[in-house]
Chain A
Amino acid sequence: MTDTQIPARIELVTKPRRSDQFFRFVVTTGGMSSLIILGLIFAFLAYRGLGVLRVEGFGFLTNSDWSVVEDENSNIVSQDYGLAAMLVGTILSATIAVLVGVPIAVLSALFLEFYAGRKIRNILIGLIDLMAAFPSILFGLWGFMVLMPSAEYWAKLLNKYFGWIPVFDVPVPFFTRSPFIAGLVLAIMIIPICTSISREVFSQTPLDRIQAAYALGATRFSMIRAVVLPFGRGGIVGGAMLGLGRAMGETVAVYTVLNVVYQVNWQVLFGAGGNIATLIILKFGEADREEINALMAAGLVLFLLTLVVNGVANILVSRLGKVGR
């Protein structure tokens, strides 16, 4: 018909008032603080640690020697800084924690969400949330005084029956303060957070899918397998990664139950291990300026490691729901 004239669009922009501009400026500045703080942490640790990193080069990550040799006048003769044993130990104990803790946490979450009666459920959730608020020193000292004696016995059993598997072998029968025991303490520490993340994810499973499965004659088991687990997969993995990040950065709880040895050790039951955070606390007291810089470099490595693990974990948890919805 007739060609209608389309009127020019009006730009719908309200210029905020002066007070609002100020408000938005302040809030935005405050909002950037996490970026600023993370950036500063990286910058300062890198600045302090750079000298050591430059001297040691890539060997900082691949050598295991951490030693400062002094003569009788306290002059430093030689110094070697290598983080390999600590790095391996950190990853090893954190991996044990995840392998032990996550299955328990996921199954507990399934129990709480789909099997428990309402009263029991509320009590158990309260207890687990409380456990998440416990300070790490509590786990550390409890682990040292209560868990370690039993855990040593379990380690001996494991070694006796599964010693033919290389990781369960030991060079000499010394089971005290091993990566295995540290891993158990860490597992106990990450169970609450993994449980509550898994539980949260499971509780978001769309009700209509659950009902559809039940209406088709599914048991709880087959419903969980067909509906809940595919829906919650990303969240479970993300929760496990968050637990891994937690376990890698833990300091005092590991300090009490781990024997720090500057040698890469893969035999989890043997009482020799490493942990970057523990190394820092251990060496910090008597360290001189140069060694402190080396510790800063170690802290930088730990910072980056946890940042990457946490980043991946958060992406996985927040992506949940976009897949399969």
Chain B
Amino acid sequence: MTNNDDLAQNANLEPNPGEKKEMKTQTTPHSLADVASSREIKQPGTKPLGSGLEARGVHAWFGAKHALKDVTLDFAAGTVTALIGPSGCGKSTFLRTLNRMHEFIPTAALAGEVLLGGKDIYAAGTDVTKIRLRIGMVFQKPNPFPSMTIGQNVLSGIKLAQLKVSNTDDLLEECLTRAGLWEEAKDRLNEHASALSGGQQQRLCIARSLAVRPEVLLMDEPCSALDPGSTFRIEQTISELSQTMTIVIVTHNMQQAARVSDYSAFMLSDGGPGELIEVAPTTELFSRPRDKRTEDYVTGRFG
């Protein structure tokens, strides 16, 4: 297949996906690596949690502009993967190809496959709404529905997709608890969502995504609009959620990547389309980057 040929050409840039999984965690006196190594790295396959996501040779275009080139990346079930890289490297675009939000841009085009549980989500005849139910998304800016109350917001996905739920109260409590908002919100369920602070709104958005029980959660810089305290809460939430689902998080903040992720993928654009430069367990990427460009970025020489 063409993808494999391309992979072979890019072999010097990318570690073989198979090899990646066998890498061992090592600690080096590197600050980011220290942060990362303080976490226990989850070995893929040890916990059969939901479905993993696999991107195979994904390209993306906006009109004639080639925005993303040949990204092949596995997100094993039950892991947290951070996508890092400077602005404009295509990491958000890549994230949006993973649950088919990319196609909302009128001139968008795409090549490659994204496999969820082994099935291509772009295959003909796929119901896109069902895909998005299985792959949830949290956006950069908290965006609760302002016309709904807090409780209605959490259950909005159920209503939008017309799912049947036997006990909405339980679901409400469960989602808010998992998102770390239950204690603050349990007495305010009938207030409008706009009454919450920014950080609380973002956790509400996470709870909203959880209500439809996705297997994968995509997060597009979920903390970039929040203060440090709220960021800390969200990171805690991510750690707890990663026990039960696959998470892909785009972040500008390398400290954050180091704190929350099992794997990190570094993407870069040299003016042309964004490419995947290196993917490795997070400690590995921050302590012993294989690529010179990754090293420059993680040590703060550019970006």
Contact = CB atoms under 8 A, between A and B. Distances in A.
Answer yes or no: A and B touching, Cβ < 8 Å: yes
Interface of A: 118, 206, 208-209, 211-219, 222-223, 226-227, 230-231, 324-325
Nearest to A226: B160
A226 to B, nearest CB: 6
Contacts of A206: 143
A214 B205 contact: no
B159 A226 contact: yes
A217 B139 contact: no
Interface in B117-142: 129-130, 132-133, 136-137, 139, 141
Contact of A216 (B106, B136, B147): B136
Contacts of B146: 209, 324-325
A266 B212 CA distance: 52
Interface string B147-159: 1000000001101
Q: Considering residues B132, B144, B147, B161, which has the most beta carbons from chain A within 10 angstroms of its beta carbon? A: B147
B104 A217 contact: no
B101 interface: yes
Interface in B206-246: 208-209, 212
B161 A118 contact: no
B99 interface: yes
Contact of A214 (B101, B145, B159): B101
Q: Considering residues B144, B157, B160, which has the most beta carbons from chain A within 10 angstroms of its beta carbon? A: B160
B44 to A, nearest CB: 25
B143 A216 contact: no
Interface residues of B, number: 27
Q: Considering residues A209, A216, A227, which has the most beta carbons from chain B within 10 angstroms of its beta carbon? A: A216
17 contacts: A211-B139, A211-B143, A212-B143, A212-B205, A212-B208, A213-B156, A214-B104, A215-B101, A215-B132, A215-B137, A215-B209, A216-B208, A217-B132, A217-B157, A218-B129, A219-B160, A227-B145
Given A215-B101, A217-B129, A208 B143 contact: yes
A216 B160 contact: yes
A223 B143 contact: no
Please provide the 4 A-B residue pairs with the shortest distance between their CB atoms, ordered closest to farther.
A217-B133, A216-B157, A218-B160, A215-B137
Contacts of B156: 213, 216, 226
A239 B130 CA distance: 36
Nearest to B131: A217
Given A211-B143, A212-B208, 19 more contacts: A208-B141, A209-B145, A211-B139, A213-B145, A214-B104, A215-B101, A216-B132, A216-B133, A216-B156, A216-B157, A217-B130, A217-B157, A217-B160, A218-B161, A219-B129, A223-B160, A226-B159, A226-B160, A230-B147
A217 B106 contact: no
A216 B101 contact: no
A212 B133 contact: no
Contacts of B161: 216-218, 222
